[in-house]
Structure 1
Amino acid sequence: MVLKPDPAPGGTTPPDAMPADGTLVLGCDVGGTKVHSILATATGRVLAEFSEPTASHDAEALLAQIARHRDRLALGRQARIAAAGIGLPGAVHPQSGVLTDAPHLPDLGDRDLRQCMAARLGLPVRIGNDVSLAALGEAWLGEGRGARSLAFLALGTGVGLGLIEDGRILRGARGAAGEIGDLPIPGPGGAARLEDLVSSRALLADYRTRGGQTAGTLRDVFAAAGADPVLPGLLDALAGRLALALRAVIALTDPERIVIGGGLGGRPEVFSRLAAALGPGPVLLPTALGPRAGALGAARLALGCGS
């Protein structure tokens, strides 16, 4: 899927024109279902954008896909891409560059992915967790602007958390800070992992258990929401569990703002219930950048910021 670039005054930027703000960077948000890449300037202006399903059958195919995105976005432009930032759905070790806890990607091996990707792209490469980079994007150009600390909760196929303090990503010793999916939360059969209770698959199973009759995916259930008596109770339970998790985040990190995003988190009916369940505390805001947050955060990381 090709997306249109941000409009410039009087039209889009010609491919052979060097942006006034100088450096060009590649920002790439690799997810379990799609890879979303942007070509951006140093001020975060998106010049070109491309998204397609993730080539998840093997590591070489995924590396080749990222390289194709670089080539496609740079095609016809005289300005050279200076660096790349890449977000990955897992824990990226700050020292070794090894990716772990990434069940939705092919096995990328016990190797420094910064070096592998730099060799493939011919560019300096910085990598990080995808949700952490979405948090960095919001801190740069979204609802985190002007805040010293920010937590970004992404809810969709799974659940993740990114933490920003004074413009820097909180990574932890092994790059696993913010792996909120592992947080134990009370569930129907006792304590369970948060992700096992609030992922889209878990929610659809819970919907069926509660007697929901709408066929298809969770998206189909939302589309029929006006006539579905089961969905409101399901969303109330979801909001209660997320609020418990966020209260733990607040107690440990005391963020100034909390931003909610992701395919599920970005839905107004989810956000409004979560705001009510959470109650007084840090400012709670829906994402301003939407699906671009991760790629913009990756571009910010490519510029040497956030690490």
Structure 2
Amino acid sequence: MTLPEPLAETAGRALRALLEREHATRPELADALRVTKQTVSAAIVELEERGLVEAVAVQQGHTGRSAVRYGLHRSAGWVAGIDLGSARLRVAAARLDGTVVAERLVPNPAPTVSRDWPDQLEVAAHALADVAQELSESQGGLLGAAIAVPRAVPVRRDLLGSDADDERLLAALAPVAPAAVWTENDVNCEAIAQLRYRPGSAPRSVLHLHIGAGVGVALIVEGTILRGARGRAGEIKALASPIARGRTVEDALSIAGLLDAAGHSPAAPLPGALDDLFAAATTGDSAAESAIADEATGIVLLLRDLTAVVDPDLVVLSGALGARRELHGRVVAECRRLGVEPVPAEDPLGDAAPVLGAASLAADLVLDAIAPVR
């Protein structure tokens, strides 16, 4: 399979305008695109022939004349986001406008701080095939998939349409045969999700700090994810530890670093290991209390340095450790004590953020292929 052929310029612009507005009439599109009604009519015909838009309602005007409203066709196709998390695997299917139409969650039967999960890709392929079967009649075909992975992605490219060397990944997904497959860093996917799915208006700049099995940052600047020249923007794990434990940020502040500092086994199953640690702190365990206090201080010192460079509108804490309410409250209090701004916000998307961001990315990349911005 290959991605659909690009639309003519006006048809592509009309499709993007419809996706932004959910639905619109031909006169509304003509005004938005600053073209004639005849030009828009030709574009709508092309979009209808391609199965991308359809009439969704008839609007009665004040003069008694009716106008047809157009929207994304119910069978225009869909994209998939896949999150290869260490604790659970998620698949989300979304329409080209980002509307999620199906989800699957498969818990890791033995989650630990290790990111290795035997047969993870095969499980992902099975879940994706299950979703594809569910949606084949109602939503059309699978147009592409994006996978959130816990590593830097030097070049974002279609793995099916290039000389990719990730044979293990492609072999697992081949039976499902999407038109295109991309990978993106999982923390970048979390930040991308903030732009499309976070309630309220989308922030222009976000610093997204993920603390879990690993530590990483994603940056959104002026509404665009900052990937860097080699895809390594936000790869902060090797920075010097901000507190007197561990050599690097990841040594000190990851789940394993916190558990080890508290005298708990870093190899214990999750999330029980973290539950036990925070419970111990509330019952007077001084080692647990001290380790958690140091964790909060370390996060704030790290944020102080990062925000001094980026000065974001919003800071979001995420990850199996960073998103814990007990830790978040301590981080907020420490930020206020040290005068660090902005104070980190909780992530309303929770652990669904990586898969939602991957689905959003896939939708955008497919749309770039169908309706390129010229």
The TM-score, its normalising length taken from structure 2, stands at 0.64
Shift of 1:146: 2.2
Instruction: Identify the residue that residue 11 of structure 2 maps to in structure 1.
Output: none
Instruction: Identify the residue that residue 314 of structure 2 maps to in structure 1.
Output: 257
Structure 1 unmatched ranges of 5 or more: 1-17, 99-109, 210-215
Instruction: Identify the residue that residue 273 of structure 1 maps to in structure 2.
Output: 330
Within-5 A mapping of 1:19-168: 20=74, 22-52=76-106, 53=108, 56=116, 61-77=119-135, 78=137, 79=139, 80-94=141-155, 111=165, 116=170, 121-123=176-178, 124-142=180-198, 145-168=201-224
Change (3 A) 1:267 1:222: same
CA contact (8 A) 2:96 2:364 kept: no
CA contact (8 A) 1:114 1:126 kept: no
Instruction: Identify the residue that residue 202 of structure 1 maps to in structure 2.
Output: 257
Shift of 1:63: 3.9
CA contact (8 A) 1:97 1:111 kept: no
Change (3 A) 1:84 1:144: farther
Q: Which amino acid aligns with 1:292?
A: A
Change (3 A) 1:57 1:225: closer
Q: Which amino acid aligns with 1:68?
A: H
Instruction: Identify the residue that residue 233 of structure 1 maps to in structure 2.
Output: 290
CA contact (8 A) 1:83 1:125 kept: yes
Change (3 A) 1:121 1:56: farther
CA distance in 2, matches of 1:255, 1:288: 18
Within-5 A mapping of 1:181-200: 181-188=237-244, 192-200=247-255
Change (3 A) 1:186 1:290: closer
Shift of 1:271: 0.9
| C-alpha distance after superposition, 1:202-233 (max 9, x if no partner) | 11111129xxxxxx823212234431332333
Structure 2 unmatched ranges of 5 or more: 1-71, 265-271, 369-374
CA contact (8 A) 2:217 2:234 kept: yes
| C-alpha distance after superposition, 1:182-206 (max 9, x if no partner) | 21124436x7201101111111111
- The match for 2:358 among 288, 298, 304 is 298
Change (3 A) 1:198 1:56: closer
SS for the counterpart of 2:298 is: helix
Which structure shows the higher strand fraction?
Answer: 1
Shift of 1:43: 3.9
CA distance in 1, matches of 2:167, 2:363: 18
- The match for 2:228 among 166, 172, 176 is 172
Q: Which amino acid aligns with 2:130?
A: R
Q: How many residues get paired?
A: 270
CA contact (8 A) 2:212 2:319 kept: yes
Which structure shows the higher helix fraction?
Answer: 2
CA distance in 1, matches of 2:149, 2:315: 22
CA distance in 1, matches of 2:168, 2:228: 18
CA distance in 2, matches of 1:137, 1:163: 12
Change (3 A) 1:235 1:145: farther
Shift of 1:169: 1.6
CA distance in 2, matches of 1:144, 1:21: 29
Deviates most, 222-231 or 282-291: 222-231
Identity %: 33
SS for the counterpart of 1:234 is: helix
Instruction: Identify the residue that residue 287 of structure 1 maps to in structure 2.
Output: 347
Larger radius of gyration: 2
